[in-house]
Structure 1
Amino acid sequence: MIDFTRIDYLKNGNERQKRAYEVLSKHRIFEKLKDYSPILAGTVPIEIDIEGSDLDIIFEVDLRFEEDFLDDLMLSRFIPYDVDVEHPVVNGERCITLNFILEGFPIEIFGQNKPTTEQNAYLHMLAEHKILQEKGEKFKQKIIELKKQGIKTEPAFGMLMDLENPYEDLLKL
């Protein structure tokens, strides 16, 4: 099983994964976020990304200290880019997202006051990876085709697996 808590596996992946590794490493993104337990989640790690897919980096942050967190990132020169900072509410919990473009990659950095290995983005990715391993290349290509049609990842899995609520059902797998 791939250790998705580190990004080393990207070095031996497909061309987009290798490029993602190069960009993330060059800009020391994970090094700058190391105090926040970052994990690359989403479609790129499990090779179901399409053109325009972003790099989803999740992290753990106590938003009571959000100002300290943002100051920390500014001081580390993490935010020399044009960054959009938002505060969505996910499952009743306030979060923070930072969105920017880095060498052609859309980047979304998503933080919750929850360990990254317990966040839904990570758990969904693990479940999706397991399903892809079990169901094979044909299934993977069907997921990619649905994504190219504009269908989000979890709903695409839901459609192909007859899941009533894919966001919840994937967490049970």
Structure 2
Amino acid sequence: MTRPAYTEALSRSGVLSRLAAFDPHVAGTPPLGLDLPDSDIDILCHAPDPHAFAAALWEAYRDLPGFAMWQWQGSDRPVVARFHCAGWLFELFGQARPVAEQLGWRHFAIERRLLSLGGEPLRAAVMARRYAGAKTEPAFAQVLGLTGDPYAMLLTLEGLDDDALNARIGA
């Protein structure tokens, strides 16, 4: 059985409306067109009150298959939950900082920008690395010739203008 498009799964889950108070944003590989058959749907949320976010997740999704929720250790202690819906694994991430400042969103934004500039050739090159087993950020780093920590290195591209990014893509 093939799973529906991620947009259909989003609609069936109701996650964007149920969590509207937490400014949910869809990130990750499906909206980039880089998903594999086992990719999940990532939802990033602004959750200044982790208890309220956890309560909303519990109320909305506790009965779905595979539901699990935990809170990371660290300065802002993000809350993470996952569950299955409409053939997809959903992973929800709620952090006290606004979504635009979260590392996951920043990675997504630079990857989206790179793909808009590099087009199908860049997408195909990244997908070849993904099919070979690389996670998304390492796949981009490999294709772009970035050395070191791929997650940190991708963020160094954020401030570059389109000409500099096109030069990096062309290299």
Structure 1 length-normalised TM: 0.79
**What runs of 5+ residues in structure 1 fail to find an aligned partner?**
1-15
CA contact (8 A) 1:127 1:170 kept: yes
After superposition, the CA RMSD in angstroms is 2.1
CA contact (8 A) 1:32 1:78 kept: no
2:23 to 21, 37, 60: 37
Post-superposition offset of 1:89: 4.5
1:69 — aligned with what?
A: 53
Aligned positions, number: 154
CA contact (8 A) 1:96 1:111 kept: yes
* Residue deviations 1:115-134 (CA, integer Å, cap 9, x gap): 01111111111111111122
CA pair 33-160 structure 1, distance change in 2 beyond 3 A: same
Post-superposition offset of 1:72: 2.9
**What runs of 5+ residues in structure 2 fail to find an aligned partner?**
158-171
1:96 to 54, 57, 79: 79
* Residue deviations 1:89-127 (CA, integer Å, cap 9, x gap): 47x642211011111101110111110111111111111
Amino acid at match of 2:109: L
* Residue deviations 1:36-90 (CA, integer Å, cap 9, x gap): 010000111111111110000010112xx43333223344x33321311122347
| Distance in 2, Cα, partners of 1:112 & 1:93 | 7
Report whether the alignment pairs 1:155 with 2:141: no
Structure 2 length-normalised TM: 0.80
2:167 — aligned with what?
A: none
CA pair 114-151 structure 1, distance change in 2 beyond 3 A: same
1:166 — aligned with what?
A: 150
Amino acid at match of 1:133: S
Report whether the alignment pairs 1:145 with 2:121: no
| Distance in 1, Cα, partners of 2:109 & 2:21 | 23
1:87 to 58, 71, 75: 71
Percent identical pairs in the alignment equals 29
| Distance in 2, Cα, partners of 1:61 & 1:125 | 19
Q: Mark the structure with the bigger radius of gyration.
A: 2
| Distance in 1, Cα, partners of 2:13 & 2:89 | 14
